[in-house]
Amino acid sequence: MMMTNSIPRWQRVTGWVLSGILAPVFLPSAYFKIAQPKGFIEEWSKTYPAASALPLGGIELTLFVLYLVPKTRYLGGLVMLGYLGGAVATHIHAKDGMFFVPVIVGVVAWLGLYLRDRKLRALVPLVAE
């Protein structure tokens, strides 16, 4: 039996594709902060304390996994939003003009979640019915 409020397949697929696009953003970033290959800490510590890399890498990896796991997707999305807010503030503080990058990442993340999640659509409807 098909539910009347089911999400069209193309929207679910598009939502998962958008969510998957975040992998090349979060996974390499987390990897460098956790593995700290030669030269990374020297470069990192020009703008951040060296000791902050490992915890931030762990946070990035954790929030991305939470975001992808269906049972923890909302928690992951909210933690990601907070993390990206900090990234926006950091870019603005550094006056590097790249503040729009974490904004775009956040929009892609939540659009991906919205397209693949019936409960989120019910909570935040785009059209009054």
How much is the mean pLDDT over the chain? 91
DSSP assignments along 5-55, one per residue? TPPPHHHHHHHHHHHHHTHHHHHHHHHHHHH--TTHHHHHTTTS-GGGHHH
The rounded distance, in Å, linking the Cα atoms of 107 and 119 is 18
Supply the pTM of this predicted model.
Answer: 0.85
pLDDT tens column, 6-34: 888 999 999 999 999 999 999 999 999 99
Residue 64 clears pLDDT 60, i.e. is over it: yes
Residue 129 clears pLDDT 90, i.e. is over it: no
48: DSSP letter: S
Residue 59 clears pLDDT 90, i.e. is over it: yes
The rounded distance, in Å, linking the Cα atoms of 15 and 112 is 4
Q: Stretch 42-68: mean pLDDT, rounded?
A: 94
SS3 18: helix
